[in-house]
A and B are shown apart, each in its own frame.
Chain A
Amino acid sequence: MERIMSETTVLLVDDDADFLLQGRLQLEQLGCRVIEARSRREAVSILEGTRPDAAVIDLMMEDPDAGFTLAYQIKGRYPDLPVIMTTAVTSATGLTFEKVPGEDWIRADVILSKPVRAAQLKAELERLLGHVL
């Protein structure tokens, strides 16, 4: 992997102030520039004028499945933009949304359960971006 010196911009979407703060601190620690959005709607309006390098989005926001919709919208506009979905839903309900090869109704590249560890976020971002942070 070659190191790319230009700054990586990450769109961070979560309706919970604490996860937003934690995500921002983690991403800034990795040297990323962070754009915050607190709802699917806000994220969509940001995406109209900006193409971030990656998006880290929560599942349950203004609707219980806002994250699924947002992932769909992001991939519709920027098919190559890596999308990481974060959720506490799996551990709370026992439902699993693991990505099944061939079944891509979930348009996120990876799903991480909350709380997201810094090392895990770094590893997934580097894998999806194809360069180290």
Chain B
Amino acid sequence: MSSEPETLRLAVVDDELGIRLGVTSILSDVTVEIPEVGSRVRLQVSSWADGESFLAALDGTAPQVVLLDSKLPGIGGMEILEGTLSGRPEVVTIMITAYATLESAVRATKLGAYDFLAKPFTPEELRVTVRKAIHHHVLAAQARRLMEENRRVRFQFISVLAHELKSPINAVDGYLDLIRNRLLGDELAAYGDMIERSSLRIGGMRKLINDLLDLTRIESGQRVRTLEPLELAELARAALEGQETASRALDLAVTLEAEPGLTLQADRMELEMILNNLVSNAVKYNRPGGRVTVRLARRDGAVELEVADTGWGLSRDEADRLFSDFVRIKNDHTRDIPGSGLGLSLVKKLCALYGGSVTVESEPTVGSTFRVRLPL
């Protein structure tokens, strides 16, 4: 709980001097605790005898909470609510009505009032209603901030995704243009490299789309998960076998060190995704003649899976960014290695589903070790 209370502005608009003075005095020492966001709120009260002067001051510093008399000498409270305050969702309005008629309360609520107080009201009724309104204001403001943040993150994700999808299309498009214009003459054989590169880029794009679908399925929770006891060594062996062609091409020494009989209650496809991503990274970011070591062990009530490579390693800064969407570490060694930039982000999200974690330890030029911990 923060010690310094936040100050919110409350305006009371009523032509009765007694109400204005009473509200100001009762609310001046009110403090509201909002445990959900760990904050405390106190009020700064201003009062207005008519709607016109309230509206004139509104564009300066708008109050967060308004106590608004429905019947005012000039422009009425209902008109202010309908004409001005209904367009400002950040202002919480409490209508003060002369009689506790259901009709006026319903009308005020329809126009966007949060609550109402019927005259005459007791100091306690005032405090309770205002406390509730403040609570609502703080939580609604928090929700708006989160929504805004989500929108921003989503926009950023889509922008980068669009760029990642455009790149291979542009590359293939560029090759097609060169082929169409017979840049290297009429012999098809001259274009072999261009066709090969085009296939490679299309393959990369297909991988990106598949990773994206996996990511979306995991994040939305739509995929039906089947938890069953899985033999981890067997899954690790399969992941290594899947990379056999690639690891042979780089002449890598591959070892699996597994504690026998290690099983985990998990979804097969999810564990395969974790293993395949880590193992394929360890292979493709390795150096010729290097090593890939997969270790499986039980430690402190969890399964620990380590995938170690002898690649070019990562700087501290690179390691920190590595598990975010679309992060690819580009340098002379990695630049031509295809990847979607989503694999490790996917691994991180999958580990979280099991209450586990993924970390990386790395030494530049020596290699990296990725460590997954999944609670048993």
Contacts and interface: CB of A to CB of B under 8 A. Distances in A.
A18 B175 contact: yes
B171 interface: yes
B174 A15 contact: no
Interface residues of B, number: 24
Which one of B163, B170, B178, B194 has the greatest number of beta carbons of chain A within 10 Å? B170
Interface in A29-66: 29, 38, 60-62
A77 interface: no
Contacts of A22: 171, 174-175, 178
Contacts of A123: none
Contacts of B163: 60, 88-89, 92-93
A114 interface: yes
Contacts of A19: 170-171, 174
Interface residues of A, number: 24
B166 A16 contact: no
Interface majority SS on A: helix, strand, loop or mixed?
A: helix
Interface of B (DSSP majority class): helix
Contact of B335 (A15, A29, A89, A114): A15
B332 A25 contact: no
Contacts of A38: 332, 335
Contacts of B184: 25
B336 interface: yes
Nearest to A60: B163
A100 interface: no
A27 to B, nearest CB: 11
Interface in A102-123: 114-118
Contacts of B181: 118
A22 B171 CA distance: 8
Contacts of A92: 159, 162-163, 165-166
Interface string B140-179: 0000000000000000000100110111001101110110
A118 B197 contact: no
A91 B335 contact: no
Interface in B320-338: 330, 332, 335-336
A91 B171 contact: no
A17 B197 CA distance: 9
A115 B177 contact: yes
Which 6 pairs between the two chains have the least Cβ-Cβ distance? A115-B174, A18-B171, A92-B162, A92-B163, A22-B174, A114-B170
Interface of B: 159, 162-163, 165-167, 170-171, 173-175, 177-178, 181, 183-184, 193-194, 197, 201, 330, 332, 335-336
27 contacts: A15-B330, A15-B335, A18-B197, A19-B170, A21-B193, A25-B178, A25-B183, A25-B184, A29-B183, A38-B332, A38-B335, A60-B163, A61-B330, A88-B163, A88-B166, A88-B167, A88-B170, A92-B159, A92-B165, A93-B163, A114-B166, A114-B170, A114-B174, A115-B171, A115-B177, A116-B174, A118-B181
